[in-house]
Structure 1
């Protein structure tokens, strides 16, 4: 039996040789160490409350669930703002670079200066009013409900976090300014002033025009989406006094002081930990023994393994990275067309946001205030049906092109042995989904248990993990999740103005004025979401458009759970369509192919996804049948 071996690993950064060793460690590791510590604390606290509930309940530790949940939320917020700072230092962000990349170097430098100026001013606002909020809480002796500590302590994460963000912005600017010319610097300052001018002259303008005008402007000049949301809101507030500026830091804290949101970093951590070790390899081996003998065997293996791994990681790009690193080179070696081999993995990875647990479904549940458990249930049949349909299409494409499997026949004994070898990996979905639907755990608790399970299996059973790799994986999960969390923070601030100005109602009235036919409006919604998915990353899009589109969908009589699946499926197609197409870029990078080659190999699979979207949209029972047993 052929064993799959990973061809690449995450490697720690190599420190610059010219710098003082200790200063370099402080520079690169300061937030990282605290992020890992924060992750360790809230993973431990959540597992402690689950353990106490079912294993140690006879000890009767008083109110453990109350104070551990509160403590874990505060450490999560703490780690999130630190992660946002580190992400800036590393240059990691979700942004739209379509227009930016086409500009000359002079204009790119000028725009980066303008973006930095705006982000620094926003950070200053968060720092100033954040410390004022802390001072007010100290003066009024406000304390936390469970632990009774001063509220000023957890709230201090906001201004301190933005102090670090400002430092990293300045540090990054100084690093980049070494190649900056005087002309580029002056152009950047002029550009900043020009973009600020509307605030001075349009004070009586309609708030939505200012809000969305600035947001679209910032998006297309390549500003990170999180800051585009926050700064467009700040610009509108400064021009119109629509809401108090001191509302910003308070919302930055309360918007993520939520136990359900914590499922996002925990599922990311579980996926990173299990995707970097033996677990993913054993899943691949089992899938290969199960269906590898069919035409297109390795391509089919990539799809079914992606479905298994989706039930661990909840992330499309994470699934592509874990599966593609191993299978894309193997398929190319077997004689598959490189573009098709890469496209299969990229498309299969998009199932990762449909099959539960799914981070986009968690975000939608939080934004729409719908049951995350029901959303997970609603994603089961669409996810499995999509995977099965992609396998059928891939089978016939492979058969037509003569791409055979790497095995000649199916062997029951070897397959059972492979299944036994993969038993600990196959148990993960059972633990997560069984815990949730068995009423034993919330999605967040199930995610924390999944992380603990992955650590125990990796450290003590397979022993493919060590403390150094655990540290690296938790730091990576912290940075990745913090980018998402910062978008939620900024979108909550942005959403306050949308609510005040009744933007959702205005959009709904406009669309319903075009047609009252449910089919026509659903087609328009799908078209709009597909276009959004082309240019905005899925998680950011969910946070931005859910408050606007959900009221319209419910006005049509569309179940909010069903609409959530429709939205996520639309945006999952965005993972495999340029210019954003995260899965395409991750897969193409793994295969070292041009993106055009991958797109060329993907058109039939993309067509399959569009057909499945139509079925899921107009046959709601596909999504809602499982949830009907939960009422």
Structure 2
């Protein structure tokens, strides 16, 4: 009888675990299907449009008329081909709506796993008890924001049902794509409640109540009065939420919400519409595609083949493995567009290999962490995409402007690694290296080396937009990983798609909430006020640029690069334009500043990734990073004051 009871208890536990597991993974099938669907749709659009235009150009040539004109009516053929153009009209609109849906569905996973981008410097210094109390405050604030957006989104859907509007291409009711607002933010509310419940179970009841009470007190000032100063509320609340440790995307949204409530800058109902319309953008879709391309190619074995090629080129020199690591990061930068992704993909192979060959473990981790920063300078680059959208600057021009500065940064790091290795007697692996072995390595890496040719060649050849090039790169990564190298198994593909969707969703939410923040700044004319105030102090271009560099380097210490770009671009761009700086040059300068932030303690994400791989402390890495930082800052100053370096190829 006792054994029967235990069996029943075990069955109940298994059913409960199965239900919770199903609940916690509810979004994942939609993310996988949605991401693959987006990639296929945009590839269809790209090849269909290119095929149509090529056919029309072919028909227009005199040779075609001469050879086929006698038995083929070219005018009718041309009209039929032009009539087929409508077969691709639906693609962009459908892809955009799928993109918005999976972006907001994926945010709920980041809430559940607490993987949002946040400033946790102060939070980590608190006692365990106060950290728990602050987590309750964060969850309560987040819940207030996402529940309100879900409620406002539901109202907007009801309005669309009452006064129906039809989308231009798909000819469906607008309420269908807008359903993501109540569904997506509603799911975020559920996930936030889950994290709040899990956190509360580890705490005493008085501490839980204290956290909830403090979060209510935060909103009391704006609920009791509508006569507050808007800039004071916007920056005051944003700073407070940032210091509190609220994920930056939600800190932006909460600051915007409190400003709207306390100063009446915008109608509250308008916020949900901004959350949709701000990311209903074809250029922004390049972000998940480039991330997916990097993840697919890393999982498909391309990074290992790139390392072998790098080792053939520089492996015999002092510090050969370190130099090969930097060179591989440069190669991989032309695939991933992400600093931490480059460190993870290359460092997981090279850091253990360097340590095994006798290199100092801190040196090994530091080299890869710094080289990973090149991942956001050499195209394609997600920060360039974000800056391009924020500043309304050509993403293609930004990509090409980053090539020379990125290569200079890579060469400078290689020189430092070479000198340190030579001083410490860390020599390259002794083995046969010849033209034959080099050609063999190059042949093995040929599929990876084709990526920048496809992406940049497609963009600058006028064949593809950056978003289309990113989608083609993602499909290419899938094809090579599955069909050529056969290392991208179904399990790896599933995990890679989830990673790509989750990483990109954090960036997309950040951009949506930053749009709300930016709209309020624009209405209050805050960027113009800041620009006029600085210009009143000095109009010297050199002084202003050095001030901006110092400010951005300082910001990079505490804030992730993409968050800094979406927040600061509207503020700083009017200032640099006023002193005659090209917006493309400023984009390169801004991204290089914030790339250095990837390896600047205490929030340098590349350092965290490298320290995890090498199993060393962040403090130890911070003590070894300074020589590299000085060299990277020297390259930054070179690019800042010699704009021809970045604009030469534009």
CA distance in 2, matches of 1:472, 1:113: 30
- Residue 645 of structure 2 corresponds to 622
Q: How does 1:408-487 map to 2 (within 5 A)?
A: 410-487=433-510
Shift of 1:178: 1.2
Equivalent of residue 300 in structure 1, options 309, 323, 326? 323
Equivalent of residue 402 in structure 1, options 425, 435, 449? 425
Of stretches 230-239 and 111-120 in structure 1, the one that deviates more from structure 2 is: 111-120
* 8 Å Cα contact 1:111-1:191 kept in structure 2: no
CA distance in 2, matches of 1:436, 1:592: 40
Q: How does 1:39-54 map to 2 (within 5 A)?
A: 39-54=35-50
- Residue 182 of structure 1 corresponds to 205
* 8 Å Cα contact 2:305-2:445 kept in structure 1: yes
CA distance in 2, matches of 1:438, 1:495: 34
Shift of 1:28: 2.9
Of stretches 153-162 and 70-79 in structure 1, the one that deviates more from structure 2 is: 153-162
- Residue 321 of structure 1 corresponds to 344
Structure 1: which 5+ runs fail to align? 1-15
* 8 Å Cα contact 2:593-2:636 kept in structure 1: yes
- Residue 178 of structure 2 corresponds to 155
Equivalent of residue 34 in structure 1, options 30, 40, 51? 30
CA distance in 1, matches of 2:531, 2:215: 35
Q: How does 1:115-130 map to 2 (within 5 A)?
A: 115-130=138-153
Partner of 1:141, secondary structure, is coil
Equivalent of residue 287 in structure 1, options 307, 310, 317? 310
CA distance in 1, matches of 2:341, 2:15: 33
- Residue 264 of structure 2 corresponds to 241
Equivalent of residue 497 in structure 1, options 516, 520, 541? 520
- Residue 243 of structure 2 corresponds to 220
- Residue 359 of structure 1 corresponds to 382
* 8 Å Cα contact 1:339-1:599 kept in structure 2: no
Shift of 1:408: 5.1
CA distance in 2, matches of 1:17, 1:424: 48
- 1:444-471 deviation per Cα after TM superposition (whole angstroms, max 9, x unaligned): 1111111111111111111111222111
- Residue 65 of structure 2 corresponds to none
Partner of 1:63, secondary structure, is helix
The yes-or-no answer on 1:536 pairing with 2:559 is yes
Q: How does 1:97-112 map to 2 (within 5 A)?
A: 97-112=120-135
Equivalent of residue 570 in structure 1, options 589, 593, 601? 593
Q: How does 1:340-355 map to 2 (within 5 A)?
A: 340-355=363-378
* 8 Å Cα contact 1:264-1:362 kept in structure 2: yes
Of stretches 19-28 and 95-104 in structure 1, the one that deviates more from structure 2 is: 19-28
- Residue 141 of structure 1 corresponds to 164
- Residue 70 of structure 2 corresponds to none
* 8 Å Cα contact 2:300-2:480 kept in structure 1: no
Shift of 1:189: 2.4
Q: How does 1:380-391 map to 2 (within 5 A)?
A: 380-391=403-414
Q: How does 1:54-73 map to 2 (within 5 A)?
A: 54-55=50-51, 60=81, 61-73=84-96
- 1:123-153 deviation per Cα after TM superposition (whole angstroms, max 9, x unaligned): 2221121111112222222111111100111
* 8 Å Cα contact 2:136-2:199 kept in structure 1: no
- Residue 67 of structure 2 corresponds to none
Looking at CA atoms only, which structure, 1 or 2, has the larger radius of gyration? Answer: 2
CA distance in 2, matches of 1:530, 1:322: 26
* 8 Å Cα contact 1:123-1:165 kept in structure 2: yes
* 8 Å Cα contact 1:360-1:539 kept in structure 2: yes
Q: TM-score, normalised by structure 1?
A: 0.95
- 1:563-590 deviation per Cα after TM superposition (whole angstroms, max 9, x unaligned): 0001000000000001210000000000
CA distance in 1, matches of 2:321, 2:47: 40
* 8 Å Cα contact 1:291-1:410 kept in structure 2: no
* 8 Å Cα contact 1:95-1:219 kept in structure 2: yes
CA distance in 2, matches of 1:309, 1:111: 39
* 8 Å Cα contact 1:293-1:409 kept in structure 2: no
The yes-or-no answer on 1:89 pairing with 2:112 is yes
CA distance in 2, matches of 1:400, 1:408: 22
Structure 2 CA distance for partners of 1:556 and 1:201, relative to 1, 3 Å = farther
CA distance in 2, matches of 1:431, 1:594: 40
Partner of 1:30, secondary structure, is coil
* 8 Å Cα contact 2:300-2:486 kept in structure 1: no
Equivalent of residue 575 in structure 2, options 552, 576, 581? 552
Shift of 1:49: 0.9
Q: TM-score, normalised by structure 2?
A: 0.92
- Residue 401 of structure 2 corresponds to 378
* 8 Å Cα contact 2:136-2:200 kept in structure 1: no
Shift of 1:87: 1.1
CA distance in 2, matches of 1:115, 1:201: 22
CA distance in 2, matches of 1:610, 1:22: 52
Structure 2 CA distance for partners of 1:528 and 1:18, relative to 1, 3 Å = farther
Shift of 1:297: 0.2
CA distance in 1, matches of 2:221, 2:214: 13
- Residue 6 of structure 1 corresponds to none
* 8 Å Cα contact 1:83-1:482 kept in structure 2: yes
CA distance in 2, matches of 1:21, 1:463: 34
Equivalent of residue 204 in structure 1, options 227, 231, 240? 227
Shift of 1:55: 4.2
Structure 2: which 5+ runs fail to align? 1-11, 56-79
Of stretches 66-75 and 126-135 in structure 1, the one that deviates more from structure 2 is: 126-135
- 1:588-631 deviation per Cα after TM superposition (whole angstroms, max 9, x unaligned): 0000000122122221111110000100100000011111xxxx
The Cα RMSD (Å) is 1.5
Q: How does 1:585-600 map to 2 (within 5 A)?
A: 585-600=608-623
Structure 2 CA distance for partners of 1:69 and 1:200, relative to 1, 3 Å = closer
- Residue 23 of structure 1 corresponds to 19
Partner of 1:179, secondary structure, is coil
Partner of 1:575, secondary structure, is helix
Partner of 2:585, secondary structure, is helix
* 8 Å Cα contact 1:35-1:79 kept in structure 2: yes
Structure 2 CA distance for partners of 1:200 and 1:472, relative to 1, 3 Å = closer
* 8 Å Cα contact 1:277-1:458 kept in structure 2: yes
- 1:201-257 deviation per Cα after TM superposition (whole angstroms, max 9, x unaligned): 663232101110000000001101011000111111111111100111100011000
Partner of 2:166, secondary structure, is coil
Shift of 1:196: 2.0
Structure 2 CA distance for partners of 1:114 and 1:516, relative to 1, 3 Å = same
- Residue 3 of structure 1 corresponds to none
- Residue 9 of structure 1 corresponds to none
Partner of 1:273, secondary structure, is helix
